[in-house]
Structure 1
Amino acid sequence: MTGSAPLPPGPDAGREAVLTWLTARLAAHAARPVVRVAIDGVDGAGKTTLADDLAGRLRALNRPVIRASLDGFHQFRAVRYTRGRTSPGGFYRDSYDLGALERELLQPLSENGSYRPAVFDVTRDKAVREHARRAVPGSVLLLDGLFLHRPELRGWWHDSVFLRVPFEVSVPRGAARGPGYGSPDPQAPSNRRYIDGHRLYFRVADPEDRAGVVLDYTHLDRPVVVAARDR
């Protein structure tokens, strides 16, 4: 980091204070040439909204930001369901093309090379070829997605955030996004693949123990800093 990271706010600080602190923490990282930050959490935790909010705040501090989502690195549908459409292990192990993520985004940004923020359109189940981009020196990559603290990816992050949200909150929150996002009932059979896949991830990767920052994100307007570790 370029300087000492600020101390985290207390449990009753409120959303604005927590996000101001988190923005200052990320802004304190020196360029390497690009600071790589993971925003992790279960489906419906609020990862994308948080990453977008942080991006706006960092840009307001004149820090260049690269926004990307792991959703742009899905495997083809046939690969994702190789173990069956209800398989929790398939959800954890087969959902994403980690090789493409490293080759097209993470490795180039570690070398100040040309990168691509996405290679796949999951809605159309089709590979895409975006034009290569060049990072502005001093940029911060904010990558949101599932399973970002898995062992294969841990070494890429200069900092990371894990959003702690219980399934009884995250599942209805995710379903509220609209048709196609599943049942709001955590006990519904259609949710077994996803909930048990996350539980497998928790056992294998222990993301709360690996994250730079753990936020209790049960209440969107009142996040609480559970842990903040030096990276």
Structure 2
Amino acid sequence: MPRVQPTTPDGLADAVVERVLAHPGRTRVLLDGPPPTGPEELAARVAERLRVAGRAALVVSAQDFLRPASVRLERGRTDPDSFLDGWLDVGALCRELLRPAAPEGSGRVLPRLWNPATDRSYRADYEALPASGVVLLAGALLLGRGLPADVSVHLHMGATALERRLPPDEHWTLAAHARYEAERHPDETADVVALSDHPARPALRA
């Protein structure tokens, strides 16, 4: 049975930073978890520590790489299968962010692509990621879909806790999260797994 070590949000960030610092060149990190687990908040904590350690860090939200509404909502606004398999623009993430951020990549990365609120391009400028820079991609349902990464983190929240913490108007996504856990096994593939039923009191799983 896996060992579980209680920690804090800061302790979790330190554990992720330790993993990242083991990679001296450009490093791509996936921070995966349903919204109530706070993957973007974790990414911000990790980025702050990396900068103190002398590593440039770029936090990117997966929400800024969704497909246009005409594509992702083709089967309706509340289709859980489309939410799992069709909302994220995997091709654009690989092409514009993760492949250029590889150790052998160009370092020319796009921090955000599509604004889901306006359903228009952000028209963001490309940024130059230095040779020791780190990209932190944060969001939900990221693992098991071929996104290239050097370090992966999964924030696990059980079904009961997720139902309790998600806003009622997002409960239609519960089936997608359940499929994700059952079919893509993020607990088994991530380098770092944190049990996050209570995000203020996470526990690292060995």
TM-score (norm 1): 0.80
For 2:32, give the aligned amino acid. Answer: D
3-state SS of paired residue (1:200):
helix
Does residue 1:45 correspond to 2:37, yes or no? yes
Distance 2:141 2:77 in 1: 19
* Conserved 8 A contact 1:45-1:174: no
Mapping for residues 1-231 of structure 1, pairs under 5 Å: 11-31=5-25, 34-110=26-102, 111-153=105-147, 156-175=148-167, 183=168, 190-227=169-206
3-state SS of paired residue (2:59):
strand
Cα displacement (A) at 1:104: 0.9
Cα displacement (A) at 1:69: 1.1
Distance 2:7 2:36 in 1: 23
Distance 2:84 2:4 in 1: 34
Larger of the two Rg values belongs to structure: 1
Q: Tell me: higher relative CO, structure 1 or 2? Use CA pairs within 8 A at least 6 residues apart.
A: 2
In the alignment, what sits opposite 1:6?
A: none
Distance 1:92 1:129 in 2: 26
* Conserved 8 A contact 2:107-2:131: no
Distance 2:141 2:200 in 1: 24
Cα displacement (A) at 1:147: 1.6
Percent of pairs with identical residues: 29
Distance 1:86 1:10 in 2: 35
Distance 1:119 1:213 in 2: 28
* Conserved 8 A contact 1:55-1:67: yes
Distance 1:133 1:85 in 2: 33
Distance 2:174 2:4 in 1: 30
- Taking a change above 3 Å as real, the CA distance of residues 16 and 66 of structure 1, as seen in their structure-2 partners, is closer
For 1:62, give the aligned amino acid. Answer: G
* Conserved 8 A contact 1:43-1:170: no
3-state SS of paired residue (1:102):
helix
Q: For structure 2, which runs of at least 5 residues remain unmatched after alignment?
A: none
Cα displacement (A) at 1:64: 1.1
- CA deviations 1:122-152 (Å, max 9, x no partner) are 1111122211111111011111012211232
Cα displacement (A) at 1:211: 0.4
3-state SS of paired residue (1:218):
coil
3-state SS of paired residue (1:44):
helix
